[in-house]
Each structure stands twice: as C-alpha cells, then as structure tokens.
A and B are shown apart, each in its own frame.
Chain A
C-alpha cells in the first residue's frame, strides 16, 4: 500500500497491478473499500491499476467528529493523482459522483472518467430534505466511519451543479468525450450528466477500451 496524505487525513492507495502506461484509478462506492485483487470487470485495462480508499474507508484514516462531503473526497482523489500523474478514473456509486467532480476539476490530468453503478450513487437527491442533525451510530473502531455512511448518503447533488463539472471537463480535456456513463442507475444528477454534449453513454468494457487506446 502507498501511504498518501490529504491535509490531516492519511490515505491508502493500493497498487492492484503494476505495469507501464497510464494508470486506471478505481474509486469504490459508499461503505466499500478497494478490492484486494483486480476486479474481473477491469481485467482488460492495458496499464497499471490502482485503487484509492476514501477518507473513513478501508486503509484510510477515520478522523474524529465527521464532516464528510463529496468535494472533500475529490481532494482525496487529487492527492492520488498528484502521486500517479495522468490517469483514467473509474468510480462506483459514490466514487462515480466523486470521479465526475475530479474530471471537471482536474481535466488536464484525468484522461477519461467512467461512471458506474455502486453504493451511494444517488446521494441525498437534488435538493435538501428536512434538516436534521446527523448523529453517529454506536462507536466503531474499524472503517467505514459511521459518519461517512450517513453524511455521504445525504449530500445534495443538484443536476446543474453536476453538469457544471461536465462542462469544465469537456472544455479542458483533450478527449472529445471525456466522460462515459456506464451506470444503469439514473439519479437526477446522472440523468442530467448523461444528456450533456461530450458524455458517452456506453458499457464498462467499451469505455475501458476507448480510454485505454491512447
């Protein structure tokens, strides 16, 4: 495992397969962690494969007192990209939403982003529900952090906020279609993303083949 830092957070980046060429970076879903081995679904990727454990998940640290939000996890991914250099990013569920954010924010180093189904895809919907104070489940000493599970299941994802990241990606990426939607689920943010110019609606194998070509 490669130990990275993001502010006061210690992050675990896992090299699942060494190799030459551009890396594929896997982002897990809410409550998950990087798998121990290369998932069969991405076996066909031609280069090295890495997986990042988000804050509060897997081998990454579990800070006291919560305070999770998707943009913070975008910072986690940025720390991984600072280590890896240009990479293709494939995110599941929560990881798909975070992958979209980083595709827009770091369009110069993200070479293709694949959005897949997984836990935490919907988040808290397009607008906030009735406010409540998020209190922790009974204390646990091992990840995933109960605060992460609750806070990241309700972070608000307005469609026009999501498409702002698509526009940033399409304006700055060298690829004509820098984002591929390989998820079947369609929360409102993803419906809006799938309808944007520069977004390819496809399957995971096809998206991997496309971004793995160059």
Chain B
C-alpha cells in the first residue's frame, strides 16, 4: 500500500442502492457529527478526497462522498447521463439527512451539486463549488461550419466507440505507467499523489494495473446541452454559495474565469480565485481550501 502525506482512507464504507445500481459510498468523521455531501469530478472517484475530506472531518463534520456510477468501486451501468448522476446523488443524500445540509462539489461534481441544490432547495443549507462553475461559452472562437464538422466527427467517433465497447477492457500498465498517463490530464499534480491514486482508483490484475472506471465511459461528448443554461439559473440560487476557482487553465478544467462568472452570482455569493492554482484546487492546496470551506460553513 502506497501512502501519501495527509491522505487517509474513509472511516466507513457502504453501498447505496440507487434505483437498482450499487453506489459505493464513503464517510470520514464521527457518525454523529453534522453531515455534508461531497461530490467528485468527472472521470474521478471519491478517493481523490483522501486528503481534503479528513481535514473537514477533523473540524467536526461527517463527510459523505460516493463514487459516481461507473467510477471507482460503484457499479458499471448500461447508461450514463447527467440527470442520472444527479438522481444517484439524491439517493445517497436520502441515506444521510432529510434536513438541509451543505453540498460541496469539485468540477463536474460542482455542477451536479448545483443542479441538486436548484432541484431540491429544501435539502441544501450551503453550497461550495470548487472549480465547478460552468463556463458561459463552448469554444467561442469556432465558426459555425467548423462546429458542424467537429460535431460530425465527434458523433461518428462516439458511435464507433459504442460499437466496440461491449467487453472492452482498459489497457493494463504498471502502477507508475498508469500514474504517468493520468499526469497528462493532471499535469500540475505530484507523481507521488498520482501513484497513491492508482492504488485506490485502480486495481491490480494478473497482467497489470487498470483504472476501475468503466471503459464504456468516454471523455468529451456531444449533445444539446449548453453550459450557459446552467449559468443562467445561477442567480436564482437561494442557498449561500462559495465558489473557489483556480486561475491556471488545465486540460480537465471548464474554462470559466471569475470575470465570466461574476455577473451571474446570486446575491451574497462569494467567489475566491486561487492564484497559481490549477483545476484540482483541493489537491494542490488542501489546507487553504479546507480552511476557507470551514470558515464559510461555520
């Protein structure tokens, strides 16, 4: 087992039945402590909170996180969609509290928590979005005709992937090889952290290490959704909100900047940019992110 400074596995692990799908759920902190919900980002897993979550737990919170369907140790599904992820989150929340509690989300997890907060305002007390605010534009510098060509390539690529996907396996590699591959998407994170992550989000088969994430899942994608639709709803959010944003753009970042977001902030919301910080704010700066979050939740 590889260790990493400050990283601690959850105190409790359980499975939530989300309408027939097994969702791996994790808790840090005392069972009787006030709970909060913590959502990971796309193509991630709850183990990426192994440093951040214990800091919140040490301050007196019961931190509840889960692996999204198809991610980490949760069941691989036949179908993946945004609304299904929001529904799975609600299934986890239903096992935790029926009174309003704080929601925290990183990246895509922030988007999911925002939508859950908008859909169920009676279930959320405060919202913390860690680089999880939508960008108002999709590639604003691309012309219409080029967008059509990109869409065509994207769709045929996705359909080809769907034809191949039955029985697909992720490529095996050494532990270091898997960490190095992950680093291409997370260039600012230390190799020791990425090697630690492989031991949580990966598994060792006879032919090598593989990420546990469902090979049917594919980054990118297409569809009718416009990020601006999410942003347009943001001013209507009733719960107090804290947004934390990294200023360094990264491959997995959403491309949003404080200047883009500020006009959409609900009354009283706070947006804090972290200078010289990338998309994985809570991993690059766990103490500062936790301190700010705890101060906001106090």
Count of B interface residues, CB-CB < 8 Å: 42
The residue that B19 contacts in the complex, of A64, A104, A155, A156, with Cβ under 8 A, is A64
Q: Is B165 an interface residue when CB atoms closer than 8 A count as contact?
A: yes
Complexed CA–CA distance, A79 and B161 (Å): 11
Contact A78 B163 (CB under 8 A): yes
Q: Is B148 an interface residue when CB atoms closer than 8 A count as contact?
A: yes
The residue that B78 contacts in the complex, of A7, A79, A161, A168, with Cβ under 8 A, is A7
B223 surroundings in chain A (CB, below 8 A): 69, 71
The residue that A66 contacts in the complex, of B76, B84, B155, B165, with Cβ under 8 A, is B84
Determine how close the nearest CB of chain A comes to the CB of B191; give it in whole angstroms: 34
Complexed CA–CA distance, A104 and B222 (Å): 14
Complexed CA–CA distance, A64 and B229 (Å): 28
Contact A133 B152 (CB under 8 A): no
Which of A7, A104, A136, A164 has the largest number of chain B CB atoms within 10 A?
Answer: A7
Contact A64 B77 (CB under 8 A): yes
Contact A105 B155 (CB under 8 A): yes
Q: Which of A51-74 contact B (CB under 8 A)?
A: 55, 61, 63-69, 71-72, 74
Determine how close the nearest CB of chain A comes to the CB of B85; give it in whole angstroms: 8
Using CB atoms, name the residue of chain B closest to A101.
Answer: B155
A161 surroundings in chain B (CB, below 8 A): 224
B158 surroundings in chain A (CB, below 8 A): 71, 75
Of A84-92, A124-132, A179-187, A200-208, the one contacting chain B is A124-132
Q: Which of A146-188 contact B (CB under 8 A)?
A: 147, 151, 155-158, 161, 164, 167-168, 172
If A106-B159, A161-B224 touch, whether A64 touches B20 (CB-CB below 8 Å) is: yes
Complexed CA–CA distance, A82 and B160 (Å): 10
Q: Is A9 an interface residue when CB atoms closer than 8 A count as contact?
A: yes
Contact A63 B120 (CB under 8 A): no
Complexed CA–CA distance, A155 and B82 (Å): 11
B226 surroundings in chain A (CB, below 8 A): 158
Complexed CA–CA distance, A5 and B120 (Å): 36
Contact A136 B19 (CB under 8 A): yes
Complexed CA–CA distance, A145 and B165 (Å): 23
Determine how close the nearest CB of chain B comes to the CB of A46; give it in whole angstroms: 28
Contact A68 B79 (CB under 8 A): yes
Contact B84 A65 (CB under 8 A): yes
Complexed CA–CA distance, A26 and B235 (Å): 45
B119 surroundings in chain A (CB, below 8 A): 131-133
Using CB atoms, name the residue of chain B closest to A7.
Answer: B165
A6 surroundings in chain B (CB, below 8 A): 162, 166
Determine how close the nearest CB of chain A comes to the CB of B113; give it in whole angstroms: 12
Q: Is B180 an interface residue when CB atoms closer than 8 A count as contact?
A: no
A9 surroundings in chain B (CB, below 8 A): 78-79
Complexed CA–CA distance, A134 and B69 (Å): 16
Complexed CA–CA distance, A68 and B225 (Å): 14
The residue that A64 contacts in the complex, of B21, B116, B233, with Cβ under 8 A, is B21
Of B5-13, B86-94, B126-134, B192-200, the one contacting chain A is B86-94
Q: Is A135 an interface residue when CB atoms closer than 8 A count as contact?
A: yes
A133 surroundings in chain B (CB, below 8 A): 83, 86-87, 90, 116, 119-120
Which of A66, A71, A161, A164 has the largest number of chain B CB atoms within 10 A?
Answer: A66
Q: Is B115 an interface residue when CB atoms closer than 8 A count as contact?
A: yes
Using CB atoms, name the residue of chain B closest to A5.
Answer: B166
Residues on B facing A (Cβ under 8 Å): 18-21, 69, 76-81, 83-84, 86-88, 90, 115-116, 118-120, 147-148, 151-152, 155-156, 158-159, 162-163, 165-166, 216, 222-226, 229, 233
17 A-B pairs with CB atoms under 8 Å apart are A7-B78, A8-B77, A67-B69, A67-B78, A68-B79, A69-B223, A72-B81, A74-B159, A78-B159, A78-B162, A104-B152, A128-B229, A133-B83, A147-B19, A156-B224, A164-B148, A168-B155
**Told that A7-B78, A79-B163, A133-B86 touch, could you supply 12 new A-B pairs with CB distance under 8 A?**
A7-B162, A55-B78, A66-B83, A67-B78, A67-B79, A67-B83, A105-B155, A131-B119, A132-B119, A133-B83, A133-B87, A136-B19
